[in-house]
């Protein structure tokens, strides 16, 4: 069961937290005038609804029972007007609420997406993609449902209920008390069910996130699944997660159906009490027949919103569970983009670093662990001067790629510092730092869109250098063969290009952004030998005048480096040119012998 543990969505939070709702209402503030108008409509809408049984009472008592038809058509017209008024006001209210809900969801999705783009890399290391997609889509969608059937409609229901109670007490307080004798039981039922339904809905949202996370992972790795004949295993895992989601929904269905059935039963009991007690009152002459009919109508209208309470609870409890998860994501600490004040290690100011060219990069006693005290780098020291080509080599897992990630501030050192022109890079605004660095990874990532977009990423400056960048790295050779050339549409993750072609596009992307510092992390590992020879000249032109940091397993690609640094178990074991390290016959010599012993 590979999709357990870290990938299981944690279920946290109180059974109910008013602060969540209060915080959510802050997103409604920009649309407060529309919200205010929808609230103002509730009064006339409740009045139109409450007037209908009273008009019916007048028609029965003053006209139908007495046999006087004069005035009855006018009451019928009033009744019709109240029905039309209720319908029009309901339409206006629902339209306003839906409109506000869509706008709030739009704003919330934008904020969520903006926050996710600024979360540190550590967050994505431990959070499944499918879980994040769930929060941006279905979790936010539930909040829209809450607008349509939740917050404001509950206020309207309260107005109707209060009006009904007042009218019934005014008409006949004894019959009203008999009717309301079922309310204590009703309140106990709704309070008890609220707690249980909230717990059930938190389970549902968590299980849905787990299911989506599995689907995102499985579909993204479908080629591996098929090549290794893992279809049945993945189907078994999907069956388990799908069953978990289904089983989480069963308690929701149970509580929902039970609440609806109990409210329906109590409503029927209340009508029975009205008929029993009210019939006796009619026989004694203490109650009119019209009043009894009005009582029955009012009690139906009284229990109608309560009968719908199960559906509203479903929406509201689902929304509260979604709010927990959404605000948990929004409360995640953002990546520090503005630069953090740290103890100065040199005289150069941050503004001077940002304005001037990169003269030196220094890793000073850098310690780093992805988790706990399991250090990947231990006291790592390295100085790189402007224009140098530095190669990092060593065994897999030795910490080479970590060095490049720390330089780009995907992570920050646990101890020590990385200096750019003598200033800690944590003092620099993050966009300024990353604008200076061009990175080419072993596994290039292409987006859906044109080839030109994938090279320039819609950056205006890079767009002007797109074609020249492609020529520089030799990507123009295959681009010229494409039907659309630079306008050729790239499918998801570049699936219509070969691995080598995707890598060439990533090289062109680095050239187009014209960085001062070039980081190549196993950048030619996915390129065949023929393609590597074709782009090597372009890479050399790309590196000219730039400070380059190259991570490589193929030692043949770094023979001409100004210095080769051997990283062994998180420490710098050796440093020198190819010839110097071969003469020493240390770790680099042994690595070289292993690769070229044939």
User: Is it the case that residue 292 has pLDDT exceeding 80?
Assistant: no
| pLDDT at residue 82, rounded to an integer | 85
User: Is it the case that residue 337 has pLDDT exceeding 60?
Assistant: no
- The share of the chain scoring above pLDDT 90, in percent, equals 0
| pLDDT at residue 11, rounded to an integer | 43
Lowest mean pLDDT among 25-29, 159-163, 241-245, 568-572: 159-163
Give the integer Cα–Cα distance in Å for 28 and 32.
6
Lowest mean pLDDT among 292-296, 380-384, 420-424: 292-296
- CATH numbers and ranges of domains, the chain: 28-330 (1.20.1560.10), 351-596 (3.40.50.300)
Average pLDDT over residues 421-441: 83
| pLDDT at residue 546, rounded to an integer | 79
Lowest mean pLDDT among 33-42, 145-154, 338-347: 338-347
What interhelical angle do 309-330 and 183-220 show, nearest 10? 50
| pLDDT at residue 347, rounded to an integer | 40
Cβ neighbours of residue 41 closer than 8 Å, sequence gap 6 or more? 89, 92, 93, 96
The answer to whether 527 touches 538, Cβ cutoff 8 Å, is: no
Average pLDDT over residues 87-110: 84
Give the integer Cα–Cα distance in Å for 274 and 62.
21
Please tell me the pTM assigned to this model.
Answer: 0.67
What interhelical angle do 231-284 and 289-307 show, nearest 10? 160
- The share of the chain scoring above pLDDT 70, in percent, equals 79
Nearest in space to 549 (alpha carbons), one of 579, 590, 510: 510
* Band (349; pLDDT cuts 50, 70, 90): very low
Average pLDDT over residues 565-591: 82
Burial class of residue 220, CB neighbours in 10 A (0-12, 13-18, 19+): middle
Lowest mean pLDDT among 160-164, 361-365, 524-528: 524-528
Give the integer Cα–Cα distance in Å for 350 and 340.
11
Burial class of residue 264, CB neighbours in 10 A (0-12, 13-18, 19+): middle
User: Is it the case that residue 339 has pLDDT exceeding 60?
Assistant: no
């Amino acid at each position: 069961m590979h999709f357990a543990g870290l990938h299981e969505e944690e279920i946290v939070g109180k059974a109910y937290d008013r602060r969540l709702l209060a915080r959510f209402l802050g997103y409604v503030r920009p649309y407060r005038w529309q919200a205010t108008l929808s609230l103002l409509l509730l009064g006339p809408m409740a009045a139109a609804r409450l007037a209908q049984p009273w008009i019916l009472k007048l028609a029965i008592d003053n006209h139908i029972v007495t046999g006087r038809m004069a005035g009855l058509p006018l009451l019928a017209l009033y009744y019709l007007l109240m029905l039309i008024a209720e319908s029009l006001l309901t339409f206006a209210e629902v339209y306003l609420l839906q409109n506000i809900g869509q706008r709030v969801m739009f704003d919330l999705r934008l904020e969520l997406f903006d926050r996710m783009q600024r979360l540190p890399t550590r967050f994505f290391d431990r959070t499944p993609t499918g879980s994040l997609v769930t929060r941006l889509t279905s979790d936010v969608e539930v909040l829209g449902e809450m607008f349509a059937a939740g917050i404001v409609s509950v206020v309207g229901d309260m107005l109707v209920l209060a009006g009904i109670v007042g009218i019934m007490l005014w008409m006949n307080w004894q019959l009203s008390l008999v009717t309301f004798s079922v309310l204590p039981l009703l309140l106990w039922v709704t309070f008890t069910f609220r707690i249980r339904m909230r717990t059930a809905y938190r389970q549902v949202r968590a299980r849905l996130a787990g299911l989506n996370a599995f689907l995102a992972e499985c579909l993204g790795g479908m080629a591996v699944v098929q090549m290794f004949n893992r279809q049945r295993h993945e189907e078994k895992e999907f069956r388990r997660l799908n069953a978990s989601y289904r089983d989480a929904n069963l308690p929701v269905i149970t509580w929902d159906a039970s609440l609806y059935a109990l409210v329906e039963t109590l409503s029927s009991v209340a009508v029975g009490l009205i008929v029993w007690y009210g019939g006796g009152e009619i026989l004694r002459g203490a109650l009119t027949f019209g009043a009894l009919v009005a009582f029955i109508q009012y009690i139906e209208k009284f229990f109608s919103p309560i009968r719908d309470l199960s559906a509203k609870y479903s929406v509201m409890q689902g929304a509260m569970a979604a709010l927990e998860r959404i605000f948990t994501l929004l409360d995640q600490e953002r990546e520090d983009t503005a630069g953090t004040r740290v103890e100065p290690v040199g005289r150069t100011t941050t503004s001077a670093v940002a304005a001037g060219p990169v003269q030196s990069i220094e890793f000073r006693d850098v310690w780093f662990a992805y988790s706990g005290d399991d250090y990947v780098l231990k006291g790592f020291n390295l100085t790189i001067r402007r224009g140098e080509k530095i190669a990092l080599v060593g065994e897999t897992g030795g910490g080479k790629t970590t060095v490049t990630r720390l330089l780009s501030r995907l992570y920050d050192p646990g101890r020590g510092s990385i200096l750019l022109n003598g200033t800690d890079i944590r003092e620099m605004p993050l966009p300024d730092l990353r604008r200076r660095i061009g990175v080419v990874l072993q596994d290039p990532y292409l987006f859906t869109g044109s080839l030109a977009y994938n090279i320039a990423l819609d950056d205006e400056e890079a767009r002007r250098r797109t074609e020249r960048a492609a020529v520089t790295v030799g990507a123009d050779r295959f681009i010229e063969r494409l039907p659309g050339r630079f306008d050729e549409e790239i499918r998801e993750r570049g699936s219509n290009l070969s691995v080598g072609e995707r890598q060439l596009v990533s090289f062109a992307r680095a050239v187009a952004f014209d960085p001062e510092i070039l980081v190549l992390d196993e950048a030619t590992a996915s390129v065949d030998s023929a393609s590597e020879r074709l782009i090597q000249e372009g890479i050399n032109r790309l590196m000219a005048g730039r400070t380059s940091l190259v991570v490589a397993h193929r030692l043949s690609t770094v023979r001409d480096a100004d210095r080769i640094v051997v990283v062994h178990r998180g420490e710098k074991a050796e440093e020198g040119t190819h010839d110097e390290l071969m003469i020493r016959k240390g770790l680099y010599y042994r690595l070289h012998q292993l690769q070229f012993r044939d």
